[in-house]
Structure 1
Amino acid sequence: MLVLFETPAGFALFKVLDEGKVSKVEDLWQEFSSAESAKKVVKLKAFSKFENTAEALSAATCLIESKPYKGLRKFLRAHCDGESLAVADSKLGNAIKEKLQIDCVHNNAVMELMRGVRSQLTELISGLAVQDLAPMSLGLSHSLSRYKLKFSADKVDTMIIQAIGLLDDLDKELNTYAMRVREWYGWHFPELAKIIQDNILYAKTVKLMGNRTNASKLDFSGILPEEVEAELKAASEISMGTEVSDLDLLNIRELCDQVLSLSEYRGQLYDYLKSRMNTIAPNLTALVGELVGARLIAHGGSLINLAKQPGSTVQILGAEKALFRALKTKHATPKYGLIYHASLIGQAAPKLKGKISRSLAAKTALAIRYDALGDTEDNSMGLENRAKLEARLRNLEGRELGHSAGSAKGKPKIEVYDKDRKKGAGALITAAKTYNPSADSTLGQTLNNAAGNGEEAEKKKRKTESVPSQMEEVTEEPPTAEGKKEKKKKKKKADEEETAVLVGGNGSAEADGDAPAKKDKKKKKKKEAAEDAGLQSDGNAGEEETKKKKKRKHAEQDEEDSEQPSKKKEKKKKKRSED
């Protein structure tokens, strides 16, 4: 068996002299305790030296990727003749077996053997001293680090952080300069600010026009639509602005040049940022867009730092001030930070923004980790997650429409409590309800029946106590209102009876004539008392029955009112005849 060992100076191939000792893994370290004992186990068969640092660097990069270097393949073909090869990397062994058809071995015994060879390397390889090996390893490590940095230049996210910072600064400067142009030129042509809203078009128009008197002679078709151009020319003829000198217009035009140049550079910077984001974080860009993704990376410090954050942190990243204020004052915490400006959250309704921001933050955290730590550079994962989020948004919007439309799914089913409902398997089976004849009320009820009705009313009250409070309010309110009206009616009747007694108190004839009237009144009182008792017992019977009773009472009152004036007239006639 042969052993392949990599050194900073080149590849070494050792021959195993005693394979029986190699099989004893636990005692193998004792064989490499000294140089003499190590030479009894392995012996150097061949050595392939690197010619320069570039060759060593290329060989090291191939080994890191588990690929056999071109010089290594030639070396193994020349010295491996039908023997097995012990390697430290199983992936490298598989690659060698596929390309060179050499059987490779990788196990615990091989790793222990590699450790022993490394400890006695300078003794096993003649001509390789310790003082030569240390600078070689140091130089190779430096070269490999520089190569890695140079190789992964596309993955450096510091360029994104600087670009998004510069883009934000340019936006601020552009707004400042554009407002200065509007304010400065507004003294000469104030109506132009209302006609043209866009800052870039405003600067282009001012640069082309100069003095407002030139507006009628110039053609603005390359800058403005026809309607806006006609409105501008009409306003220039009746403008109320002051006159300015040519020197002032020259400085205003130079400021317009600055605005236009900054706007053009901003467009170039945005294109650069877009290309860098699609290279470094394609899945993040597919989910939240270039600007939001770049701001998240800049706020996190780097793509790796952002990949270490959970989805809940990504959701409120940028709203730290509001978060700590809410925690301090014990109010509701913010639902979103920088992620609020993503297009998916902008599409959602105000009620659904919190749910969508939470889902989007979770998917964004996965996309960031995939971009930072994954090997592939496509945006398939981001596009797939975006499609899922859009489907979820449509689903949530459909639910909200169902609630607002009052569909069967949207309306909650309210079940009234029923003490007769059975528990267990037959929970939906309720007790059979019997007809209650005491709920019916008639005008001919007597006082004796009123007592029986009172007992039934108490039973009904006990039953209605188990009904929810809403049902109690509906059933209890009408009897209270009717009771007040009945008391007022009784007072009116009592007053009328007193007046009648005072009028008829002078003669016996009047007493004889009033006797049947008094009897009629007593009967009516008894009827009213019976009705009152029936009303109290049947107060909870229903709204329809109470309405019928009201109509009956009103009819009786009308009859009494019609009878009373006729009786008074009869009494007056009797008095006149007696006189």
Structure 2
Amino acid sequence: MVDLDELSDREDYPKVEDALERGISDSNQGAILEDQEYQLVVDCNALSIDIDNEITIIHNFIRYKFKLKHPLLESRVHHPIDYARVVWKIGNEMDLTLVDLKACDRALNLDATKKMLLEFLKRRMGYIAPNLAAIVGSAVAPKLMSRAGGLGALAKMPACNVLLLGAKKTNLSGFSTASMQSRIGYLEQTEVFQSRPPSLRPQASRLIAAKATIAARIDSIRGDPTRIAAKNLLEEISKKIEKWQQLPPARLPKPLPIPDSMPKKKRGGRRLRKMKERYAQTNTMKLVSQMKFGVPEESTLGNRAVKSIRQRW
């Protein structure tokens, strides 16, 4: 039996909930904040990861209980929160002994708490990760940190994995994959990605992922709170994208030949002498081709052996 209240029994869960209910004023963002507030932001980020794990456990519990009645529902609804909403809606019209609505309520409450955490992190991104927020935006940065497992885990992650954070799995059973787009996660919600033409978006997403990884590594050691590094990274992104959009140089017209010009005589030179030496007849080949004068030589003509006399001229 799964303990649905395991997360609520933790000591830090009510503390973080109380801090979120009180809220922190945004008027002192430019001032130097205390380490206690920074630790609160870190705890909120860690708690959002635990909420995701708890939602996964509850989703498996609901799916195990509900698949006896509707075994095909899990193949139709993939998201855990959407699955819990569907079970909660149709649970009132079925036998309640087969549906645990308490687990559905618990999953929905955890999802609401997670949204509140992400909203709080969105407001405080300018303090915890200023460079990352400047690259991807204050709305996308907490999503990346929450999915990666914190700012430290995001800083250790390669750019190819950052690109796939938040990517949704597409179910193309029975359909062609010719028009399927590349998998891009939360980075497709950034302003830099949306403001580019569709032909350059795959390249731009990889570039944004690389620069976001660098910004996360700077923020993990709290190296540049003034966002100067983020401005330099944004300038590099804009310069590279502008270079991609430039047209290739036009082909120069072929010049006309000089009138009344005669073709040059290609005489022998060092290259021609080298080629003649390379393909010249060797001494061994000369010895093989030697023969005695007036002596018959055996040769074959079809299936018959004949004798011929070759003469030297």
TM-score, structure 1 length as denominator? Answer: 0.28
Larger radius of gyration: 1
Whose helix proportion is higher, 1 or 2?
1
Which structure has more relative contact order (CA 8 Å, sep 6+)? It is: 2
TM-score, structure 2 length as denominator? Answer: 0.47
